[in-house]
Every structure is written in structure tokens, then in C-alpha cells.
Amino acid sequence: MNTHDTHDRGRHVLGRRKFLSLAAASAGLVTIPLGRGALGQMKNEIVIGGTLSKSGRFQGITKPFGALAEAWAAQVNARGGIYLKDLGKALPIRVVIYDDQTSPPTALKFYERLAAVDKVDLFIGPFSSFLTNAALQASVTHNLPFFMVEASDSVLFETANRWRTTPLAPAQWEYKRHAEFYARKGGVKTFALLSRDNLHENQAMEGFGDWLKKAGFQIVYQNIVPKDIKDFSSVIFAIKQKNPDVVFIEALPPPMSIGFLKQARELGLNPKDMVVGHMPVPVIKAMGRSAENIVSSMYSFDGDTVDHKEYFALCKKAGFEPWQFSESGIRYVTYKRIEDALRRAGTLDPEAVRKAMWDTNLSMYGGELVVKHDQQGYGTLHPWPTQIKGGKHVSLWPLDKGVKVHEFKAGRW
């Protein structure tokens, strides 16, 4: 099925209205039909529903995102809400967030509740492909647009679902800008790549390898290690034998990155540069001064565009700095997608909002990012490179700035 096809249900609705009108007439009653426009006029707010892991193993990653959503809603409402042309008025937004407890069945239960009890107009996704894969069923059951957020695993796109899209590019694009950075920086030729055995991480590592090869670099070591690995000594010795200029590790859980980095330090693995794909605050704190000059990534970059200022202000209101919770950048892009889709749809009709969601062509950050969707529902957002300096992420983008700010780690632990 073409993802942009619509379903014509109007014939059945009109048939039922005609029947009810005739029945009322025969009973001597006067009826006033309530068309879509009239029903829309009765709406006094736009309700957006989702879940976050306020408990469970993802709670540390998503901790401030509830406050971020509230800050966004307050900002939109302070501007007068979102204007819907078909209704001829602007409506405020209200966000309803439940705790999915980092549990797929719990996530689905609450998305069902959001549709059936809270009567939301659209869904915003939970954190991770893991939870989104379960929650998506509610979008099909209730025919409601589902704006995915931190979800891009290929398994989510194996089954067609016209009600969902993600802002994220496929995992293979995750480190495209890092390859561009090293091509501009120069001074390195060979890379060693390591990934935890997980679909997303494996695809991200493989994609990075492909981008590096296209840029003229050589991959001298590439390996996938078990999820529960604790002893990296054999891996580290194998990497040392290849003597790469840059070592890259792709692992979402902080304990794995911490374990690898500490053993690399102890066993004298001293490449010219070290890249850790995911380096949240727990990893930085655990490594202390050894974290200095490790290259990583964030879903935002330095700048002074209108979007930068708005995003930074929302993070501040929610009580954190953008670098502390990188995925907040994905949240911000999703908020802008929702605003854009609703304005272009001009209505809260689910089918119209769904179509506007798929037809997104949203320019952000002064044109650095243009959010679009392919036929599967993938977007275009992928991270920008950073480097840890003074215990925090520092942007290495735009490239002209990045190559000046960047310092090779050069074995300094």
C-alpha cells in the first residue's frame, strides 16, 4: 500500500447521518447535523500523549524529558497556541505523559489508554526502538498519528505502518558526519571499529565503516562483542597489534563503554584518537580526567539560529544543559515536526495530520537540517561530532570550527 493513500470513510458516515436524520424526522424531532467542522469547533485544546521511562533502566536517560515537554507546551501556548485553518482558530496544546517503566507491555497499555480514555489527538513516542516497537500497535488500532522520537531500528520498518514516521535517519547514517570530520581534519588513516552485539549498534558501526571507506580511510580491525562481555583484554590486544590511528566503540549501555575504556587505559591502548559513540554523563564521570579529548556525538550542535536559541531556552527551563542529555535534540526536532504538521494540516482530523506528518519538508538550524521522510518513514536527523573538554561535550560542528577546536587524544589518559 502506498503510505500516502487515504481511506474514504465519508460515504459510510454520511449514510449513517442520513439514517439518523430520517429517523428523527419520523419521530417529529428537529436535528442539527454535526459535521467535522462543527465537531472541531467544540475542541478547546490539542492533546498530545506519550510515555517516558520515569522508572526502570532507561530512567536516567529520560529523566528531564517530561519537564522538556511541559516547557515546550508552555512556550507554544504563550505564543497563542497552534492555528488550525479549518477551525478558524488557534488551540493550546496539552501533553499527557505516563510512566512506561521501561516495559514494552506497559508502554502499549498506556498508549491504549491515551487513545481510549484521554482521547489524544496524536501520539509522541517513548524512548528507544525497544519500547516504540510495542507502542506502535496503538497507532494502528486507533488510527492515530504516531510521531516516533528516539527510534530508528530497522525492525520497526519491516511491517508497513502508515501512521508512523521517525525524524531519525537509518542507523547506518549515525556517524556520517564523523567520517566527514576526519576527512577534513586529516592526520589519520586507519580505524579500528568495535560494537556491542545489538541490531542498532551493529548497523551504526557498519555504516560508519562504509562512510570511512568512501572517504578513503582503511579499516584495519572490525569486531562485534557479546552484550555481557566484561573482559576486553583479548580485544584490546588484537586492536593494539593492528596499531590503528583511531579506535571507535559503539555501545549504548554506559557500563560497557566504561569497562572498555578503563581496560584500554590499563593495557596501554593509545591510539591517536578515541571515539565513543555514546558518552552520557555517567561515562564522563566514571572516566574522570581520562575522558578528556575523547570524541563522541550529540543530536545538536553550536549555533545562534532561531532554532538553536529556542532549543537552548527549552533545555534551560527544563533544568539541564543540552550536552547532558543528547537525545533532547531529537525531542526538540520532534516538537517542531508536530507543530509543522498540525499547522499544515489545519485540522485535527487524524488522516489529515498523518498525511502532513509524512509530507514534512522542514528546514531547521538555518538549513543545516532539512527534515524529510522516505517511503519507509525514516527521517534525516543524525548526530553531530563532539569532543569531551573540561568534563562536558563541546561541539565540533560546523567543520571549519570543529577542526580548530579538536585536539587528538594522542594516548593521553
Residue 407 has pLDDT above 70, yes or no: yes
pLDDT at 13: 33
Greatest CA separation for the chain: 92
pLDDT at 28: 37
The more confident residue out of 75 and 43 is: 75
In sign, the C-alpha dihedral spanning 58, 59, 61, 62 is positive
Amino acid at 342: L
Residue 34 has pLDDT above 60, yes or no: no
pLDDT at 14: 33
pLDDT at 42: 80
181-225 residue pLDDT tens: 999 999 999 999 999 999 999 999 999 999 999 999 999 999 999
Compute CA distances 219 → 116, 189, 214, 237, whole Å. Answer: 52, 9, 11, 17
- As a whole number, mean pLDDT of residues 14-42 equals 40
- As a whole number, mean pLDDT of residues 300-317 equals 98
Return d(Cα 135, Cα 40) in angstroms, integer.
27
pTM of the model: 0.89
- pLDDT grade for 232, boundaries at 50, 70 and 90: very high
pLDDT at 6: 32
345-359 residue pLDDT tens: 999 999 999 999 999
Residue 277 has pLDDT above 90, yes or no: yes
pLDDT at 148: 98
pLDDT at 104: 98
Least confident range from 5-19, 105-119, 167-181: namely 5-19
The more confident residue out of 224 and 13 is: 224
295-307 residue pLDDT tens: 999 999 999 999 9
Q: Which residue ranges form the domains of the chain, and what is each CATH number? A: 43-166+303-380 (3.40.50.2300), 172-299+385-405 (3.40.50.2300)
pLDDT at 31: 33
Residue 109 has pLDDT above 90, yes or no: yes
Average pLDDT over the chain, rounded to whole? Answer: 91
Residue 12 has pLDDT above 80, yes or no: no
69-108 residue pLDDT tens: 999 999 999 999 999 999 999 999 999 999 999 999 999 9
323-334 residue pLDDT tens: 999 999 999 999
Return d(Cα 346, Cα 27) in angstroms, integer.
38
Residue 287 has pLDDT above 60, yes or no: yes
Three cell numbers written together for 113: 489508554
pLDDT at 27: 36
pLDDT at 41: 57
Three cell numbers written together for 4: 500516502
